[in-house]
Amino acid sequence: MMAKLIQTFLRLTAIGGDYPVPTSEASYLAHQALIDEVCILGGALASDGTWSQAPALQEPFAQSLLGHATGAGQRYTPFLNPGHGSDKTAIHAVLDDPALQQAAADDMLALATTRFDAPWQGVVYDALHLEAGYMGKQEQFLRLLSYTAQSAGLSFGVSHPGTRPEDESTWLSLDTIAQIADVYDCYFYGWWLAPCSIGPYWWVVQGIENALKHGIPARRIYLGIPNYARYYPASNDYTTAYDITYDQAMQIVHDNNSFVQWIESDETGLIREKYADVGQGHIWISDGDTVRHRLELVDHYSLGGVMLFIPGMGAESVWDAIAEWKTPATPDVPEVRASNPTDFF
Does 250 reside within a domain? no
At position 71, the amino acid (one-letter code) is G
Between 13 and 142, the higher pLDDT residue: 142
Please determine, for residue 14, whether its predicted confidence score (pLDDT) is greater than 50: no
Helices and strands per DSSP (H, E), number in the chain: 10, 15
Task: For residue 235, tell me if it sits in a domain.
Answer: no
Neighbour count for residue 51 (Cβ, 10 Å)? 22
CATH (domain of 53): 3.20.20.80
Judge whether residue 293 has pLDDT over 80.
yes
Tens digit of pLDDT for each residue in 69-100? 999 999 999 999 887 656 789 999 999 999 99
pTM of this prediction?
A: 0.88
Q: Which of 249, 296, 300 is nearest to 277 (CA)?
A: 249
Q: What phi and psi values does residue 94 have, to the nearest 5 degrees? A: -70, -45
In contact, 8 and 227? CB cutoff 8 Å: no
- The arithmetic mean of pLDDT across residues 15-28, rounded, is 60
Please indicate, yes or no, if residue 51 is contained in any of the structural domains.
yes
**239 within some domain:** no
In a domain? residue 41: yes
In a domain, 344, yes or no: no
- pLDDT in the model for residue 240: 82
In the structure, what pLDDT confidence band is assigned to residue 18 with cuts at 50, 70 and 90?
very low
Contact 329, 28 (CB under 8 A): no
Name the residue among 138, 199, 217, 193 with its Cα closest to residue 170. Answer: 138
Query: DSSP string spanning 83-108?
Result: TTTS-SHHHHHHHT-HHHHHHHHHHH
Task: Confirm whether 293 is domain-assigned.
Answer: yes
Q: How many domains does the chain have?
A: 1
Domain assignment present for residue 66? The answer is yes
| Residue 48 belongs to domain spanning | 5-227+286-327
Q: Per-residue pLDDT tens for 268-282?
A: 778 888 999 999 999
Confidence of residue 106 (pLDDT cuts 50, 70, 90): very high
